[in-house]
Structure 1
Amino acid sequence: MPETGEGVNRGERLAANAGAEKEAWAATLEDMRALAAELEDDGWSTVTIQAGSTAPTGQSDDDDRFGLVYVIPGNKAEPFAEAVESNDFPEYEVYRAEQSGKVFIVTEFRDPESKTAILIAGVFELRNSLGCVRAATETETMYTHIQKLDGTHLGSFRHDDYEKFFPSVTAVENWADVDSEAMNSD
């Protein structure tokens, strides 16, 4: 649980956690590369992507789409699209770690028939996840959406186990509550 109260402001928390978060992000990227190397050693073709932004989104009045949205660089759009175009990716795995209310995540999509895997690394804040978690628990489904910075949708994946992405709904609720309290205190 994050520290709140008198004398602790968001800027101080960010500065105190910056080094640990940089290390966690570096470890996430290293893990993604190690997973890809292991697959390649076993004869798989891999596409690795470092997302420029990752956001958990909930349903809205305008859009029923929810899930984890990865915004990927334009130079990775073509390799991603080519892999998705010719493969189904029926299997997936989620590797995640938490640091100071942030989730450092690698989502691995696998097509065993073609021995092709896509690995995408990202980071997002638990405090922004409540809408996504509520939609996932209500539908007992989770989605991953991949798009470019300009909003071009490149692909979506459906997942039957939202708990791989959010193993503790309570943790998400706690972070959302802390954020709400911080916004309402003056």
Structure 2
Amino acid sequence: MSENEPNEHVAGHWEAVVDDMEATAAGYRDAGVSVLELHPGDVTVLDEGNGLDVLVPGDEFEELETLASEATFDSYEVYRAEESGTVFALIVLEDAAGERAVCCPIHYDRDEIERLKRRLDDGVLYTHIRPLADDRVVAFSYEDPDLF
């Protein structure tokens, strides 16, 4: 287990947020929305920069990269819960016009995100989603970092 993965006493909470993602995605699909579900292997609060580094499997990244080039994600929701200083969140990015959505569960240390929010230059937080194999990144911005 890497230092960024939830430890054993909160691993059940990670499983719960992934289950919530699947249920949320099913609800969107029932409403006729195409949904991409991401399954991060690692999430890191960036020491430099203004966001979170989210590592996803290569095949999921390929789908995300294609989707991001075609869609305009004009709204988002962040659902979060906390356990023992670890925050578990589900980000849902929506492209209402194209009836598409991306669901991405994340986890991070509450104290680290608070330090990050204090040093944001423009008040905008980003998720930098990338595959393990190379340096390509798809970034999303959030103008309300307090949701995190």
With the length of structure 2 as denominator, give the TM-score of the two structures: 0.87
**Residues 99/151 of structure 1: CA separation in 2 closer, same or farther (3 Å cut):** farther
Deviation at 1:32, TM superposition (A): 0.4
Supply the distance in 2 between the matched residues of 1:152 and 1:47 (Cα, whole angstroms): 21
- Note closer, same or farther for the CA distance 1:58–1:131 as it changes in structure 2 (3 Å cut): farther
Q: 1:156 aligns with which of 131, 135, 139?
A: 139
Aligned partner letter, 1:54: V
Whole-angstrom CA distance in 2 between matches of 1:90 and 1:58: 27
What is aligned with 1:33? 22
1:139 shift after superposition: 2.3
Pairing 1:42–2:31 present: yes
Give 3-state SS (helix, strand or coil) of 2:126's partner: strand
For residue 56 of structure 1, report the CA deviation from its aligned partner. 1.6
Instruction: Choose the corresponding residue for 1:114, options 91, 98, 104.
Output: 98
Cross-structure match for 2:42: 53
2:87 aligns to what?
Answer: 103
1:52–1:122 Cα contact (<8 Å) kept: no
Contact 1:58-1:133 at 8 Å conserved across structures: no
1:54–1:19 Cα change, 3 Å: closer
Q: Structure 2: which 5+ runs fail to align?
A: 1-5
Counterparts of 1:40 and 1:68, CA distance in 2: 27
Deviates more, 1:37-46 or 1:156-165: 156-165
The match for 1:135 is 119
**Greater fraction strand:** 2
Which of structures 1 and 2 has the bigger CA Rg? 1
Q: Greater helix percent: which structure?
A: 1
Q: Share of identical aligned residues, percent?
A: 27
Residue by residue over 1:104-158, the C-alpha shift from the partner in whole angstroms, topping out at 9 and shown as x without a partner, is 111111100001000111212224335422223x422111111112452331112
Q: Which residue of 2 aligns with 1:178?
A: none
Q: Give the CA RMSD over aligned residues.
A: 1.8
Partners of 1:73 and 1:153 lie apart in 2 by 13
Aligned partner of 1:121: which letter? P
Count of residue pairs the alignment pairs up: 143
Output the CA distance in 1 between the equivalents of 2:25 and 2:114. Answer: 31
TM-score normalised according to structure 1 size: 0.71
Task: Give distance in 1, aligned partners of 2:122 and 2:134.
Answer: 25
